Amino acid sequence: MIEKMDSTKKEHVLGFKSLIKKAMKQKKHLKWVYPTIKSYDLRKARKIISYYDMYFIRNDNEIIGMLDVYPKNTCGNCGMPPKDPNLIDIAYFILSEYSGKGLGKKAVQEAIMLLKSKGKKISACTAKINEVSINMLKGLGFKKVRNCSKNRGYSCYFIDGKPVDGIKWRLG
């Protein structure tokens, strides 16, 4: 269900670009990830894919979402430096027409198995009021590590341009 994006494959670069274009029309559904979604030309899309560790989420062969792994920072959103090089942060979204059907959880579950097989420890961030993502992470065995206060000088999440509190989660 998940497939690593490859910047040397034209269909992957085009698939990523097209996914982002669809996501840009789903501001309401993707409000938690929306500030980081920007339109890309092909060169930029290729550069992003080659820099980050990103996966397509597919349903039958169709691209329905994506999952990012942040190996360079433990926190994909605020970029807090890693204390443990094996600790990685994941972020994900599913297009609205596919959400609520068990597909997001299945994709994240698959990513967890893959990352664990590579010896990685996994963390994630959510906005404090992102009920669906929080329920999903809890259901997958994630435990709350700490609150990420919007008043610490930076914020991971914004709604309508206003910062909101976040939560850091860790698996196991």
Ligand X SMILES: CC(C)(COP(=O)(O)OP(=O)(O)OC[C@H]1O[C@@H](n2cnc3c(N)ncnc32)[C@H](O)[C@@H]1OP(=O)(O)O)[C@@H](O)C(=O)NCCC(=O)NCCS
Angle, helices 42-51/10-23, rounded to nearest 10 degrees: 100
Query: Residue 169 to residues 30, 50, 141, 148: CA-CA distances in angstroms?
Result: 20, 27, 10, 10
Q: Rule CB under 6 A: say whether 33 interacts with ligand X.
A: yes
Residue among 16, 56, 93, 169 that touches ligand X (CB under 6 A) = 93
Return the closest-CA partner of residue 172 out of 101, 100, 68, 86.
86
Tell me if 105 contacts ligand X by CB under 6 A: yes
Q: Nearest distance from residue 57's CB to ligand X, in Å? A: 8
Closest by CA to 154, choosing from 92, 79, 90, 82, is 79
126 is a site residue for ligand X (CB under 6 A): yes
Binding region for ligand X (CB under 6 A) out of 10-18, 110-118, 124-132, 144-152:
124-132
Total number of residues that touch ligand X (CB under 6 A): 23
CB 12 within 8 A of CB 46: no
Q: Taking contact as CB under 6 A, which single stretch among the options 8-16, 68-76, 85-93, 113-121 is the one that binds ligand X?
A: 85-93
**Interface residues toward ligand X, by CB under 6 A:** 29-30, 32-33, 91-94, 99-105, 126, 130-133, 135-136, 139
